Amino acid sequence: DAGITQSPRHKVTETGTPVTLRCHQTENHRYMYWYRQDPGHGLRLIHYSYGVKDTDKGEVSDGYSVSRSKTEDFLLTLESATSSQTSVYFCAISDPGTSGMKQYFGPGTRLTVL
């Protein structure tokens, strides 16, 4: 299994509070991604990073920000959580140089916003 951990694994929070999810990898892969998975929508890309301090938006980036200060860590922040952000969040990694285009996924974080 690819060395990807996500924390926390479960979180319940209230509307309007800030939330930060962490993805940590031990594979030294260049690319890191944040997805959300919802019934009826499948996996949708929120943001991704192609290097330290290099990030770009995905298809559902509104309300989310990211940061990557080290190769191994990619943080997803919900500045002011809303109920529509209740979802399961997955981190993924890839590196064209070592593993081709395939992405490896972490175990997920289940976030509930009340």
Residues that bind another protein (CB under 8 A): 4, 31, 33, 40-45, 48, 50, 58, 90, 92, 94, 96, 100-108
Nearer to another protein, 34 or 113 (CB): 34
Contacts of residue 66, Cβ cutoff 8 Å, sequence gap at least 6: 34, 46, 47, 49, 55, 74, 75, 76, 77
> Shortest distance, CB of residue 102 to another protein, whole angstroms?
5
DSSP state of 83: G
Nearer to another protein, 19 or 29 (CB): 29
Nearer to another protein, 2 or 15 (CB): 2
> Shortest distance, CB of residue 28 to another protein, whole angstroms?
16
Dmax (CA) of the chain = 42
Nearer to another protein, 62 or 100 (CB): 100
Contacts of residue 43, Cβ cutoff 8 Å, sequence gap at least 6: 35, 36, 37, 90
> Shortest distance, CB of residue 16 to another protein, whole angstroms?
28
